[in-house]
Amino acid sequence: MMNKKTLVWFRQDLRLSDNPALYQAVLNGSVLAIYILDEQKNKDISMGAASMWWLHHSLTKLASSLDNKLNFYKGDAKKIILKLIKEYSIDGVYWNRCYEPARVEQDAEIKNLLIHAGIDCQDFNASLLWEPELVLKSDKTPYKVFTPFYRNGCLSAQAPRIPLEKPKKLNLVKDPVHAIDLDDLGLLKNKLPAFLAEQDWIIGEDGAQDVLATFIQKPLENYKEGRNVPAKKNVSRLSPYLHFGEISPNQAWYAAKNRGFVSASLGNNVDCFLSELGWREFSHSLLYNFPDLPRKNFQSKFDSFPWRNNQQLLTAWQQGQTGYPIIDAGMRELLQTGYMHNRVRMIVGSFLVKNLLLHWHHGADWFWDRLVDADLANNSASWQWIAGSGADAAPYFRIFNPVTQGEKFDTDGVYTKRFLPELAALPSKYLFSPWEVKEPILREAGVILGKTYPWPIIDLKASRSNALEAFKSLSTEIK
């Protein structure tokens, strides 16, 4: 081991295993491990309340795994790093790359400054399976359709990097002068419902590994079909851990592939899970190559879309008070747990932009604030996809019917009744359209429409017709 002092800048890589920047820094000698909250510089990724809550607890776990020698700072990252280099005679600065536009710009500025100052500066890929700047079509332009992106751009490229082991020994440097306490970052300043902290989230690297191991062992066996049923535990629930880097996509990728090698019958389920990791790569590729994705319609024809402006409808959607049970169950799951099942995310998204005709920005902003797995690439690409304005988007005429979606994917009503206890006594065959149920049945179930549960805020048939008319009014020219 060399006798150098390296600063390691933690960001979306809050783990010790498969952490290339940390791994290489440890080979040099001692390590000054730091985390900087620099939201002024990175305004486009200022965290929502749920993300801040998760980050606080994740940093608590990371600090503990670093023998409480993780140094916290708040402010301009460039100024803080330069100050620490001078103060502690730092030989090198290492970090793992982030791919949000503001951070790409910030990283380039800091790296250029350090290189010109003669400081050993190295950055690594720790959060994506493939570098987005390298996954390009034959004409060197970025892909805009998922299937060729994944099959031709990703699977035909070099296989993802094999995960690195956790460093066996760390020689960590503590900054007793300039570092602040974790609480001083103010990550818990926005109060969330108390029950969010009581949900079954095991935050941190160890929790992430446990979640992955559990998923690979059993739920993966029926992933392809079971992931569509919100009452079943066939989704991985790895999304917040991947966003904060408590686990790497490489670890998830190879864990699934290795499980497939052991049990050949899992082939279709493994392939389906790997393709979902591929969708994550696609979203990050879109954001990297089209940095306006979070606010600008990917397809410019949507700039003239006749969105409505109705705060009453938006509030009803946000609070899970639309009168459509599968919609309300999903929105209340979000409020109560900081998470929403992926199938239900598509249903509530379609309802917002196509039935209510409210701008996809409203959905993206609400999810950004409330999801513990809020991720700029995934959030932006997903909302544009459901709105029809994005790359490889859902066709405009694909409008999810919340009644039939509930009946198909929550047949027994287990998921819906969990989050709508006021409808728990209603027989499942009536659950998804209570406004059509005869009064004696409602009365026996303790349901009073307009009091214990709302009437539908819009008519499905009429809203679908309005949506189709609005979509057809757009120019057929696609950017």
Active site residues: 276, 279, 307, 342, 360, 383
List, in order, residues 6 or more apart from 140 with CB less than 8 Å away: none
Which residue, among 348, 265, 320, has the nearest Cα to 454 in the 3D structure? 320
**Residues paired with 253 in a beta bridge:** none
Distance CA 316, CA 332 (A): 11
Structure tokens at 458: 């819009």
Q: Is 357 left (phi over 0), alpha (psi -120 to 50) or beta?
A: left
- Minimal CA–CA distance to 58: which of 249, 207, 194? 207
Task: Detail the DSSP E strand segments found in 285-386.
Answer: none
The SS3 assignment for 138 reads coil
Task: Give the distance, in angstroms, between the CA of residue 65 and the centroid of all CA atoms in the same chain.
Answer: 24
User: How many Cβ atoms are within 10 Å of 108's Cβ, its own excluded?
Assistant: 11
CA-CA distance, 320 to 352, in Å (whole number)? Answer: 12
**Separation of alpha carbons 234 and 248, rounded Å:** 20
How many whole angstroms separate alpha carbon 169 and alpha carbon 172? 9
Q: How far is CA 413 from CA 113, 418, 440, in A?
A: 58, 8, 20
Sheet holding 92-96, edge to edge: 71-74, 29-37, 4-10, 92-96, 120-124
Pull the structure tokens for residue 349: 């998204």
